[in-house]
Amino acid sequence: MAEVSTREFVTASQAAVKDAQLRQALRRAGSGFDGTRREAIAEVSEEVWEGWREQARAIKEHTIGHLDYYLAMLERNVAAAGGQVHFAGDARQANAIVSEIARRAGAQTVTKSKSMVSEELGLNHVLEAQGIDVFETDLGEYIIQLAEETPSHLVAPALHKTRGQVAQLFAEQLGVPYSEDIEEMARVARVALRQKFLEADMGVSGANFLVAETGSLVIITNEGNGRLCTSAPRIHVGLAGMEKVIPSLQDLAVFLRLLPRSATGQRISSYVSMVTGPRRSDDEDGPEEFHLIIVDNGRSRLLRDPALRESLYCIRCGACLNVCPVYQRVGGHAYGWVYPGPIGSIVTPGLVGVAQAKDLPNASTLCGACRDACPVQINIPRMLLHLRHQQAESGDENTKTSSDSDALLARGFATVMSNPWLLRVGRTLGRLLSKPMVQNGKIRQTRLPFLSRWTRARDLPVPAPRTFHEVWRDELSKGGR
């Protein structure tokens, strides 16, 4: 499985907020994507958009609620089309299955179209260790593969890189003249990759949707690389999380409307590819074998928890990232694993364990922009609250990660706020103790823990001479003021 460095969220995000180039890249991409998304919604009208969201959510609710049934249907129909479904419990199993397929076929060169699940599995390293050359063919993925980095956004993996950084990378790694011209850079990548498409023995793709009734794998791309990966090589291996299944082609329609609009603001992506089984006898081209690897890797844990189940409705459009004020400041890498941003803050603790990712559910102001942007109405803030609750009060030591001092503070606060006389005492004490720190009615500096983290950038008010309770009793209740 891909390395998890989510424990370092605080230090990673501290470095990220100081990175001016990252900030510039995030700003441009975030407002760009979100702007076009809003335009696309306005074009169809809020009302129609809300109708689509409801419909999509209902489909996901139904399918995830009957996941075993639809996965079995999918398996039957993939087999009927001549393909083979493999179920992988975890990353190790999934990697072993793909490795074995590659070994049997004697694969030397693998081309890949974009797949977040393969990032999650760390598949590239496993295949490379087996002596296989792996080439990412999505332009963004290609860039980060050259840079030996990981994706920082669900839709735009190289979003953290500025144009100049990519030009530099191409010049260094591919030996081409430095050029910041986007068309020229795309041409360079196309030339480098075209040969690989022709050489590849095996193509690996992700899946945006799996259609149970037809056994089809659906991928949505803008570069056409997905189609080359799934049709040119002898073998096509599709990778998908088990939540990707939907019942029918009829159901697919609404997602084809929602996904491109939410991701990039496009009415439809340049390519929508549906792959159903390998080449048939009368087909002119297509792979000889089609394998579909359906990956659990912790998803059943999310499925079992009614409070977190809706995280499996996600269609990985990235809209929540583009509107998230935290993601927009820290970027994707600070989150420390494959899935960043608001949805990542649910999925990552769910898949790698809360103990490994305890900052993620807390590093949010609960502003709710993600929920409003989500095309399937996933209530991300509510799940963040649920994870915080697990951290604070779970009976399971693996999920309970809050410090004892947090618990003590919480109990203290509850006690004081439950006893008005204690509140009065606390308030008097607070006013007395804060006196030496007060300048012009405010606290400007303090060495006290917690409070100093507030006062490093903001003045802190001190308790007023009289509470509202007192003002009410003395004046307002008597008709005063």
* Residues in touch with other proteins (CB under 8 A): 10, 13-14, 17, 325-326, 329-330, 362-369, 371-372, 382, 385, 387-393, 402, 406-407, 410-411, 413-414, 417-418, 420, 423, 427, 442, 444, 450-451, 453-454, 456-464, 466-473, 476-477, 481
Closest CA to 230 of 247, 252, 207, 214: 207
Please give the Cα distance from 400 to 396 (Å, whole number).
6
Strand, coil or helix: what is 219?
strand
Closest contact distance (angstroms) between CB of 59 and other proteins is: 24
- The answer to whether 213 and 180 have CB atoms below 8 angstroms apart is no
In order of 353, 361, 394, 417, the CA distances from 344 in angstroms are 12, 9, 21, 35
Instruction: Retrieve residue 380's tokens.
Output: 């991300």
Nearest residue (CB) to other proteins, 250 versus 445 = 445
Between 253 and 409, name the residue whose CB sits nearer to other proteins: 409
| Cβ 214 vs Cβ 77: under 8 Å | yes
Pick the closer one to other proteins by CB: 106 or 306.
306
| Cβ closest to other proteins, residue 163 vs residue 431 | 431
Min separation Cβ 338 and other proteins, Å: 21
151: alpha, beta or left? (left if phi > 0; alpha if psi -120 to 50): beta
Shortest spacing between CB 382 and other proteins, in angstroms:
7
Q: How far is the CB of 384 from other proteins (least distance, A)?
A: 9
CB of 66 to other proteins, least distance (A): 24
Please check whether residue 165 is in contact with residue 178, taking contact to mean a CB–CB distance below 8 angstroms.
Answer: no
In the numeric block, the tokens 């076929």 are attached to 105
Q: Which is nearer to other proteins, 108 or 365 (CB)?
A: 365
Residue 217, strand partner residues: 210, 275
Q: Are strands 235-241 and 202-205 parallel, antiparallel or unpaired?
A: parallel
In the bound state with other proteins, the residue whose beta carbon lies nearer, of 252 and 443, is 443
Shortest CB 413 distance to other proteins, Å: 6
Comparing CA positions, the residue from 295, 196, 198, 233 lying closest to residue 106 is 233
Report the residue number, 134 or 384, with the smaller CB distance to other proteins: 384
Buried b (16+ CB within 10 A) or exposed e, 47-70: eebeebbebbbebbeebbeebeeb
- In the complex with other proteins, which residue's Cβ is closer, 35 or 131? 35
CB of 481 to other proteins, least distance (A): 6
Cβ 17 to other proteins, closest distance in Å? 5
Question: Which residue's CB is nearer to other proteins, number 55 or number 446?
Answer: 446
Identify which of residues 103 and 411 has a Cβ nearer to other proteins in the complex: 411
Q: Residue 288 CB: number of other CB atoms within 10 A?
A: 12
Shortest distance, CB of residue 365 to other proteins, whole angstroms? Answer: 3
Structure tokens at 397: 């030591």
Question: Tokens 């479904």 — which residue?
Answer: 85
Q: Are 226 and 136 in contact (CB under 8 A)?
A: no
In the complex with other proteins, the residue whose CB is nearer, 65 or 325, is 325
Q: How far is the CB of 162 from other proteins (least distance, A)?
A: 19
Residue 359 beta carbon to other proteins: minimum distance, rounded to whole angstroms = 8
Helix or strand (DSSP H, E) at 438: strand 438-439
Contact 246, 212 (CB under 8 A): yes
Biggest CA–CA distance in the chain, Å, is 92
136 and 264 Cβ atoms separated by less than 8 Å: no
- Within a 10 A sphere around the Cβ of 422, how many other Cβ atoms? 13
Angle 24-26-32 (CA atoms, 0-180°, nearest 5)? 105
